[in-house]
Amino acid sequence: MDQISGETQGAACPHSPSRAERFKVNANGVDEAARAQSSIDGATEGGTAVLLVSHGSHSPSWRHMLLDVHGEVAADLLKLDGVSHVRSAFMEYTEPSIATQLKALDAAGAEKVIVIPLLLTISDHSFDDIPVICGQREDAEKAAELIEEQIEIYAPKAELEFAPLLDFTDLVEKNLARRIEQAVGSAQALRADEKSYGLVLVGYGSADFDEQWHAFFNNISRYAEANLGINRSVHAWCGHLVEYSRQPTLDALEAQLETHDRVIEVPIFVAFDEMFHEKIMGRAAERCSAPERVIYTNDSVLPDPEVGRWVVEIAGRMVAGGVTA
C-alpha cells in the first residue's frame, strides 16, 4: 500500500495550514480559544442543556470548524423553551472533553442534557464510545480501552438524551450538491457538457459498521447520479481501516479516469483535517495518471449553515419531545 509519508507540503487549499496557525495551544496542549468558545450559558441555572459533541482532532482547523457551529447556533438554542446552557465538547485529543462539560453542567444544575453528535453516520464512536464516556452504557472492555487512551468517563446527574446523526436527513446529499456546483457548475451544466463526469467520494470508513458505511455512501452516490449530472459515483476509504493509505483513493480515481472525461473527488468528512485532506486525498489527486482531469474539491461538509439549522431544529423537536434517536 502507498502509505502516508512524513512530507508536510500538501495541495493548495482554502483551508491551508496558515489558517491553523492562528489557533494556538498552551504548554499543556490545550487549545485555549476552543475552551473559551465552547460554553455559553443563559440567564438562569438548571433547566435543559444542549451539548454539541464531535470526534475531536489534532487539527486546529477541524476543532474550530466545529466551534464555529457552536457560535452560529448558541443564541437560537437559548431561545428554545427551557434551554439554559449550550456547550461543545470533543470526544478525544483536546479539551473541552465530554466529561469536562458534563461536570460543568452538573455544577450549573442542568436537569437534562440533549447530546447532539456532529457525526456523519453510525460508528463505534456514536454507538459505543460516546455512550460509555457519558456513563450511559456499561461495557468494561470499552471503558478500559477509553481509560487507556486517557479519555475520562463521567456519568452526570442530569438526564441525557441523544439526538440522531447527520444521516437522519438528506443534509449530506444537499451539501454534496452545493459543493459540486461550486466546483464545476450546476447539474444542468454538467448534463449539457459533452464531457462525462465520474465522482469519487472519500470517507474515513468503519471496521465495526462497514455495511452501514457502504450503505450510507451508496445512498449518496445514487443521489449524485440521479440529481447532479454525474455518470457514475464510487467511494473509497482513507482511515484506519486501510491504514491511512492513499492507495484506495488513488485506485478509485484511476478506475473512474478509465471511463470518464473528468473525475470529481469529494471528501465526505464533517470538517477539514490537513492530514486527510492534503496528505491522503490531495496527494492521490496529484499523483494519479491524469491529474489535469481530476477536480478535487479539497473541502468538507462544514462550513454549511444548513448544519446549524439542523442542530436548532432537532434540538427544538427534542425539547418538545418530538424525536427519538
The catalytic residues are: 55
Ranges of beta strands (E only) in the chain are: 39-41, 48-54, 83-90, 112-117, 159-162, 197-203, 232-237, 262-267, 294-296
Contact between 312 and 306 (Cβ < 8 Å):
no
83 contacts 319 by C-beta, under 8 angstroms: yes
- Contact predicate 77/83, CB 8 Å: yes
Whole-Å CA distances, 53 to 81, 90, 293: 21, 6, 38
Cα–Cα distance measured from residue 312 to residue 297, given in angstroms and rounded to the nearest whole number: 28
Q: Choose among 14, 16, 20, 62: nearest CA to 297.
A: 14
Angstrom distances, CA of residue 145 to CA of 70, 174, 208, 240:
29, 37, 16, 17
| CA–centroid distance for 288 within its chain | 26
Question: Please, are residues 118 and 54 in contact by the beta-carbon 8 Å criterion?
Answer: yes
C-alpha cell read off for 134: 457519558
What does DSSP say about strands 294-296 and 262-267: parallel, antiparallel, or unpaired? parallel
